Chains A and B, each alone.
Chain A
Amino acid sequence: MTENGNSPARAGATAIADDGPKKKVKLNIFRGTEEGGKEVEYEVELAEGMVVLDAVLKIQAEQEGDLAVRWNCKAAHCGSCSAEINGKPKLLCKSRVDEYEGGEINVGPLRAFPVVKDLVSDVSWNYEVSKRINPFHSDEQAPFTMYEEDVERLYEPKKCIECFMCQDVCHVLRTHHKHEEFAGPRFFVRNQWLEMHPMDNQNRLEDIKEDDGVGLCNITKCCTEVCPVGIKITDNSIIPLKERVADEYYDPAKWLMRKLRGRRNGSSSS
């Protein structure tokens, strides 16, 4: 059966090549580094259901072996292949070529971070921010008793796949380069679930105000628009955190308490 050539297990190997009439698609891909580069036009055969990542990988395999692109799962679960299509951050694995029919497809790297090469940016800054965030801590011993209604609002921020497209599109980072003072939408999403987790006993409001700079966000909702997993970052993460910070720091009664007790160190366990 493995030899007869009709096995469906074998058919999978050739299905891509045999598909339909040979239409072509053109892509302009940024080739270069932080120092500079240019858009180069490539042409590939179109296949049904093709996503931009398919086209880029086809160009890489057949025409430009050193074309740099970052990807992993190719299923929109891992957030590796974020880049910009026509200036907008997109997951390349989730962007269908036929969505752009009749128009241009210009593919470039995320621009809020230093460009390494071609479609790859240096996103390591995000991991530095992540490292400084006070992690989950509970004095209680798992297994916890938590009810669905206590935790259901945590599922949304927990969906984040760390594609960093919200970071890419955020004006505070992209235009004003406030990487030193501002953690970016991704990390307000993380702080949101940490703050709302019923078993966590840390107080991060001082960090969120001072280190993460939540006040710098002016609620343009650009981050929400690009989130590939549909997290309402502005409404559900940033605004609630801004409100908590306001309650803590700008409520006259709390201000007085703080003066009397001395400045809190932001961590009840340390």
Chain B
Amino acid sequence: MDANANKNGNRENFEVREHDILIIGAGGAGMRAAVEASEKGLSVGIVTKSLLGKAHTVMAEGGMAAAIGNVDSEDSWRQHFIDTMKGGKFINNWRMAEIHAKESPGRVYELEQWGALFNRTPEGKISQRPFGAHTYRRLAHVGDRTGLELIRTMQEKVLATDTKVYMETTVTKLLQDASGRVVGALAYTRESGKFIHYKAKATVMATGGWGRIFKVTSNSWEGTGDGAILAYDAGAEMVDMEMVQFHPTGMVWPPGVRGLLVTEGVRGEGGVLKNSEGKRYMGDYDPERMELSSRDVVARANFSEVQAGRGSEHGGVYLDITHLGYEGIMAKLPTMHEQFLKLADVDIAKEPMEVFPTIHYTMGGIKVESEHCATTVPGLFAAGECSGGLHGANRLGGNSLSDLLVFGRRAGIGAIEYVEQNTHGTDIPEEDVQTEIRRVLDPMERPASDNDESPYLLQSELQDVMMEHANLVRDEDALKEGLRKILAIKDRVPNVKVGGNRLFNPGWHTAQDIRYLVQVSELIVRCAIERKEKRGSQWRLDHDELVEEYGNINFISKKGPQGEVEIERREIPPIPDHLAELLDQSAKGAKV
């Protein structure tokens, strides 16, 4: 198991770890896949950049969507399917939307079986709250810390299995055999800088999103798109990368918390949006659903009010939940109360919050086959935010936690079957490992020169470019100028230089992230240039309406033979009759 190579000339020490299945990422999706495979008796290793239980899943506040019908008994998987497709503006993978709607209830009950505790109805069942664009009250929740409950439950479940957990470990490359099959990965531990060669028959990517490409973001430092670009570099197809969700309500003041999430649960519990004139304006944008319209609509409304000069003191709009009173807020939204009181000196029981859209979630991602989350690269599976398809052009609140568990489980099953059906070896030439180690060490070990760049400043510069050119509102000229700037930054990435040594060195870690951030930004901007319309989160001012011909198109991006980005318009396969009928009925105004 231990080091199999001594430092000898340019050869670096590394450890070898072998598992049947390697899982990269320990949020809800990765941990659910780990439980599935570990309980079947396979050897599972799960790698996380952070400590266990700190992944971004923990930030989910509002709840987990599942048509269990505890509060509104009329709810059904059919209506959940329709809501998800409508929210995604019909470019979703319809089969994933069907599976998700059908299986979410089972995943909620499973969490309860494993010790998760949700708020209750008077009948002693799991309570459900209303949320944007869900027809019925559908979100199983516990106050405004549902993600914490989910991640802690999964963490304790994982620790109770034989899964080997590698905390604070960063994967830098997927390793492929001569046929292109993924047979493991190279990683290093953040604490000591020790390298590990993971050998695995199957690999599950579950690394989350890439919100750190923007300066104002609700994402932690981890959201740098590692998994998406590791898969892209291995040859995987990506789907609809232009689709990036701006959550309507991020904090705006003080500066240090700009972008920090204000849960949609505030609006779920009756919070109203007002402009500086005191007007409740959502009636001008979606008179039927008002504040509980889909996120893309509410984000555009908030943006437009500020743009029209009706913004708040610090450039946001007002979100008012004072009608709940102190007691009501402490029962339903205690975390929000604490967050505003402590960080912004605002008592939300007495005064409104100031909010503005913030980057929140990435609908696009690694393209997966709908049943078991296989990517287009053999041996590689993907689930959760790093994958794409389920949410189409816009994700509904609450559909992320259910996505993680439904497709985390299915990716686990896919990986198990793959391991059982294939007898391939996992060896690769040692030179491949050594080459990658040298690449990773380069920013630290290369001699200093005049061209050296700070990884922190380069990241910051990229974030400014994305804020300016690929934000909530987009147009072709701005996108193209943004692309030029991104490509100029891309040319400078090899100049990134860091000081210090391998021991817990955040500068070195950031130097690794830059490559992902730049590449993922390029994909987003290139796809955003191609989709010339307003659909879900893609809002093109120069094509400010839904264009029918794009309604059955996914933009597929992949790495070309010369390392260039190839983009293909691909038609969505025809929807089968039993699902088409549901959408037809819904379009006629019927509830199903």
Contacts and interface: CB of A to CB of B under 8 A. Distances in A.
Does A associate with B in a complex? yes
Given A9-B357, A71-B221, A78 B156 contact: no
A94 B330 CA distance: 19
Interface string B111-132: 0111101011011111000000
B51 A80 contact: yes
Contacts of A47: 254-256
Given A49-B255, A65-B499, A155-B142, A77 B115 contact: no
A75 B339 contact: yes
Q: How large is the interface on A (under 10, 10 to 19, 20 to 34, 35 or more residues)?
A: 35 or more
Nearest to A66: B500
A111 interface: no
B428 interface: no
Given A50-B256, A136-B115, A66 B506 contact: yes
Interface stretch (B226-234, B377-385, B459-467): B459-467
A267 B500 CA distance: 51
A257 B508 CA distance: 62
Interface string B484-510: 000000000000001111011111101
A163 to B, nearest CB: 10
A227 interface: no
B570 to A, nearest CB: 28
A3 B145 CA distance: 38
A33 interface: yes
Given A49-B344, A73-B58, A148-B120, A1 B508 contact: no
A135 B160 contact: yes
- Consensus secondary structure, chain A interface: loop
B156 A77 contact: no
A40 B276 CA distance: 46
B49 to A, nearest CB: 9
Contacts of B258: 12, 15-16
Contacts of A65: 454-456, 498-500, 505-507, 510
B462 to A, nearest CB: 11
A158 B142 contact: yes
Contacts of A78: 53-54, 58-59, 220
Interface stretch (B282-290, B391-399, B471-479, B572-580): B471-479
Interface string B290-308: 0000000000000100110
B350 to A, nearest CB: 19
Q: How large is the interface on B (under 10, 10 to 19, 20 to 34, 35 or more residues)?
A: 35 or more
A12 B114 contact: no
A61 B148 contact: no
A251 interface: no
Contacts, number: 231
Contact of A147 (B59, B124, B335): B124
Interface stretch (A112-120, A204-212, A213-221, A237-245): A112-120
B259 A66 contact: no
A175 interface: no
Contacts of B356: 8, 12
A9 B120 CA distance: 39
Given A16-B258, A123-B51, A145 B125 contact: yes
Interface stretch (A21-29, A124-132, A165-173, A176-184): A124-132
A119 B509 CA distance: 16
A8 B506 contact: no
A80 B53 CA distance: 9
Given A7-B473, A123-B51, A66 B306 contact: no
B99 interface: no
Contacts of A2: 468-469, 471, 473-475, 478, 541
Interface of B: 50-54, 56, 58-59, 68, 109-110, 112-115, 117, 119-120, 122-126, 142-143, 145, 147-149, 152, 155-157, 159-160, 165, 167, 191, 215-216, 220-222, 252-261, 303, 306-307, 311, 315, 335, 338-339, 342-345, 356-357, 454-457, 460, 463-464, 467-469, 471-475, 477-478, 481, 498-501, 503-508, 510, 541
Given A47-B254, A123-B51, 16 more contacts: A1-B475, A7-B471, A10-B467, A12-B356, A50-B256, A65-B505, A68-B503, A78-B220, A96-B342, A116-B504, A127-B167, A143-B126, A145-B123, A147-B122, A155-B142, A200-B115
5 contacts: A9-B473, A47-B254, A77-B148, A79-B54, A142-B113
Which 5 interchain pairs have the tightest Cβ spacing? A49-B254, A66-B500, A136-B115, A65-B507, A61-B456
Interface of A: 1-3, 7-13, 15-16, 19, 33, 47-51, 54, 60-62, 65-80, 94, 96, 116-118, 120, 122-124, 127, 130-131, 135-136, 138, 141-148, 150-151, 154-155, 158-162, 193-194, 197, 200
